[in-house]
């Protein structure tokens, strides 16, 4: 076994060379994001040409997302300092006529429908009228005219159009904890409820059938795992199951806009899997996969005629590349690698693992081992994911690869509550923050020790958001297990966290109380699981990083944790970035954080050569 060289920290965390490629609707150009003065901006390039035109020049913040509105105009979203109040901008593909369409203070913009068949209009939602509620608007991207399509009564949390761009589905929170799907036959009609369920059940519309009469949906009604079904809004009933998997939820469904056929369903076991409904799509996937067998392959963009496609590749050891596939000539051509400075042979494999929790549940996860060393008695970083109602997936993760390159084994686990494993596995996490959810993380550590992989005296815990909470909980509630911890934008006090939710989370408050705990009814339990209230139990060094503008996990969460630690004389390092929110996006802040984390881990883990 050969150890790889020590790779520069910046190579893991710098901006991609080029990414977020999209084909123009008419199919002669593609766009992409690339760095300009360390911020991700948009460029346009003719297919077949080596020359590109930069059309945006943002310097304060990355452009977070963009799309082609029509053949000649690009729309993009950008916030300020991580506040997540995204504004919508437009610019011509020659860089002219830049305008902000939603330049409103403390308002965030979401895209509902790009209206591909209506070149000069899109449908968006904003919480402009009421900070707690998002109203849908039709936006003319030539004149900037905004027309409200429906006044949100306050409890609607999502909107969906049919294939003609008509707003016909709304999802709402009713009675504070139930979910209702509302439907109308035409835009002249009032929305009426067609099904109401507990929020623990899901009938999530994906899109309309191609005659605009029924819905394709992901549903776990009367079952544990979500399946792809056809739902009839006229009767409020499912009429057919299209695809199910015994092990996991089926997450999504794709279709061809031009041919109006279903293409594939998407689900994730250890890795992402597809169930194809359409032979043409399956043949095209297999043709690309045959040429690129070592990678996951995704068709991420196509032109209007659906004869030119962008293919994005990924693996656990590579951020992959973009290819263009011409269906007419059957030619697959490399456009650009995403991070060509990283040598795949020096990266570590991400291996799926599973273990049994102390109460008998099967927990899935991933283990990444440093390259070129024996997998015995290694220093280990435990990395619980955020959410918590999310999950870790197989694929390239720069944090994981960086830590592996520095000699650490890295353990990730989809503890109870992680999504995708069915309703029972999700529900058994309710009101279990710091309790059974934390036990699952502790049991993962014990598994790694029992396997002989981890050195029990050199184990650190690091996570962001809920993972930051799990870090603090791990240090407070299992104080002898870890050598040190790194908390990145993590919750520390369940009471102050609940009291500082963004206004547009208000419809979900009662659900959150059911899932995590009610500050009044469950006050004893929440006090028990709030790490800031148990700082006296923490024995080991802690590094805390926080964005000052974080709308989800308020600055006060980290402030109080640090104050409690300092009051006890425990070593705590604290990094606050005034121009960041829920996680550091600006490249200089990323570098600063990971440099500090590397020094902190090395100092406290006493790495042995």
Average pLDDT on 376-401 reads: 97
Summarised one tens digit per residue, pLDDT across range 80-109 is 999 899 999 999 999 999 999 999 999 999
For 225, the token pair is: 């795992």
Active site residue: 20, 204, 465, 558, which one?
465
pTM of this prediction exceeds 0.85: yes
Higher pLDDT, 608 or 545: 545
Active site residue: 346, 364, 385, 582, which one?
582
Summarised one tens digit per residue, pLDDT across range 269-297 is 999 999 999 999 999 999 999 999 999 99
Q: Angle CA(549)–CA(551)–CA(554) in degrees, nearest 5?
A: 75
Summarised one tens digit per residue, pLDDT across range 397-447 is 999 999 999 999 999 999 999 999 999 999 999 999 999 999 999 999 999
**pLDDT in the model for residue 1:** 66
For 12, the token pair is: 């893991």
Question: What is the rounded CA–CA span in Å between residue 138 and residue 93?
Answer: 22
The answer to whether 418 is a known catalytic residue is no
The answer to whether 218 is a known catalytic residue is no
**pLDDT in the model for residue 180:** 95
**H or E element: which one contains 350?**
strand 350-356
Question: What is the rounded CA–CA span in Å between residue 523 and residue 493?
Answer: 12
Question: What is the rounded CA–CA span in Å between residue 431 and residue 524?
Answer: 12
Average pLDDT on 313-325 reads: 96
Alpha-carbon 210 to chain mean position: 29
pLDDT at residue 391 tops 80: yes
Q: If DSSP codes are grouped into helix, strand and coil, which group holds residue 381?
A: strand
**CB atoms inside a 10 Å sphere around CB 520:** 9
**CB atoms inside a 10 Å sphere around CB 293:** 7
Higher pLDDT, 168 or 1: 168
Active site residue: 218, 219, 550, 558, which one?
550
Average pLDDT on 464-486 reads: 98
Average pLDDT on 536-555 reads: 94
pLDDT band, residue 504 (cuts 50/70/90): confident
pLDDT at residue 569 tops 90: no
**pLDDT in the model for residue 174:** 87
DSSP string covering 69-83 = SSSSEEEEEE-STT-
**pLDDT in the model for residue 451:** 97
Summarised one tens digit per residue, pLDDT across range 221-241 is 999 999 999 999 999 999 999
**pLDDT in the model for residue 416:** 98
Summarised one tens digit per residue, pLDDT across range 145-204 is 999 999 999 999 999 999 999 999 999 998 888 999 999 999 999 999 999 999 999 999
**pLDDT in the model for residue 609:** 44
Summarised one tens digit per residue, pLDDT across range 15-65 is 999 999 999 999 999 999 999 999 999 999 999 899 999 999 999 999 999
pLDDT at residue 487 tops 90: yes
Summarised one tens digit per residue, pLDDT across range 242-266 is 999 999 999 899 999 999 999 999 9
Summarised one tens digit per residue, pLDDT across range 57-78 is 999 999 999 999 999 999 999 9
The answer to whether 550 is a known catalytic residue is yes
**pLDDT in the model for residue 607:** 61
CA dihedral 311, 317, 319, 325 (to 10 degrees): -10
Question: What is the rounded CA–CA span in Å between residue 32 and residue 16?
Answer: 11
Question: What is the rounded CA–CA span in Å between residue 371 and residue 348?
Answer: 6
Question: What is the rounded CA–CA span in Å between residue 518 and residue 511?
Answer: 10
């Amino acid at each position: 076994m050969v150890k790889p060289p020590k790779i520069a920290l910046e190579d893991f965390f710098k901006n991609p060379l080029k990414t977020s490629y999209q084909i123009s609707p008419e199919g002669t150009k593609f766009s992409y994001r690339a760095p300009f003065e360390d911020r991700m901006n948009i460029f346009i390039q003719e297919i077949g040409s080596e020359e590109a035109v930069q059309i945006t020049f943002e310097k304060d913040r990355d452009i977070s997302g963009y799309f082609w509105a029509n053949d000649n105009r690009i729309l993009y979203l950008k916030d300020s300092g991580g506040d997540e109040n995204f504004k919508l901008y437009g610019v011509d593909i020659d860089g002219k006529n830049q305008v902000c369409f939603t330049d409103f203070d403390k308002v965030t913009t979401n895209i509902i429908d790009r209206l591909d068949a209506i070149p000069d209009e899109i449908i968006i939602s904003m919480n402009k009228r009421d900070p707690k509620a998002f109203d849908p608007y039709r936006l003319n991207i030539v004149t900037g005219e905004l027309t409200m399509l429906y006044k949100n009564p306050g409890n609607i949390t999502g909107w969906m159009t049919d294939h003609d761009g008509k707003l016909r589905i709304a999802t709402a929170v009713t009675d504070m904890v139930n979910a209702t799907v509302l439907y109308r036959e035409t835009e002249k009609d009032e929305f009426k409820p067609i099904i109401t369920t507990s929020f623990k059940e899901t009938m999530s519309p994906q899109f309309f059938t191609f005659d605009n009469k029924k819905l394709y949906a992901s549903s776990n009604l009367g079952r544990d795992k979500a399946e792809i079904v056809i739902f009839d809004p006229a009767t409020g009933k499912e009429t057919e199951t299209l695809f199910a998997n015994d092990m996991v939820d089926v997450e999504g469904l794709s279709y061809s806009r031009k041919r109006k056929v279903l293409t594939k369903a998407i689900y994730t076991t250890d890795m992402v899997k597809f169930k194809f409904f359409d032979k043409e799509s399956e043949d095209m996937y297999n043709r690309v996969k045959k040429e690129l067998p070592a990678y996951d392959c995704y068709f991420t963009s196509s032109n209007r005629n659906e004869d030119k496609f962008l293919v994005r590749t990924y693996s656990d050891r590579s951020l992959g590349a973009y290819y263009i596939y011409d269906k007419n000539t059957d030619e697959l051509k490399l456009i650009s690698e995403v991070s060509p400075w990283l040598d795949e042979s020096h990266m570590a494999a991400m291996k799926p693992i599973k273990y049994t929790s102390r109460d008998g549940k099967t927990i899935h996860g991933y283990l990444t081992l440093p390259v070129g060393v024996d997998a015995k008695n290694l220093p280990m970083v435990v990395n619980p994911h955020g959410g918590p109602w999310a999950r870790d997936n197989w694929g390239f993760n720069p944090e994981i690869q960086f830590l592996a390159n520095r000699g650490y084994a890295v353990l990730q686990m989809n503890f109870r509550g992680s999504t995708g494993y069915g309703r029972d596995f999700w529900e058994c996490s309710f009101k279990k923050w710091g309790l059974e959810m934390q036990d699952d993380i502790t049991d993962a550590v014990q598994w790694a020790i029992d396997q002989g992989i981890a050195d029990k005296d050199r184990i650190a815990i690091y996570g962001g958001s809920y993972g930051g909470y799990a870090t603090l909980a791990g240090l407070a509630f299992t104080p002898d297990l870890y050598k040190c911890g790194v908390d990145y934008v993590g919750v520390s006090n369940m009471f102050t966290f609940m009291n500082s939710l963004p206004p547009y989370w208000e419809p979900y408050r009662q659900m959150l109380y059911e899932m995590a705990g009610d500050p009044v009814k469950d006050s004893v339990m929440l006090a028990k699981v709030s790490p800031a209230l148990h700082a006296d139990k923490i024995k080991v060094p802690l590094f805390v990083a926080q964005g000052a503008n974080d709308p989800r996990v308020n600055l006060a969460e980290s402030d109080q944790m640090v104050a409690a630690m300092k009051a006890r004389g425990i070593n705590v390092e604290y990094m606050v970035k005034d121009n960041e929110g829920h996680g550091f996006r600006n490249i200089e802040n990323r570098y600063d954080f990971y440099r500090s984390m590397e020094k902190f881990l090395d100092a406290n883990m006493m790495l042995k050569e």
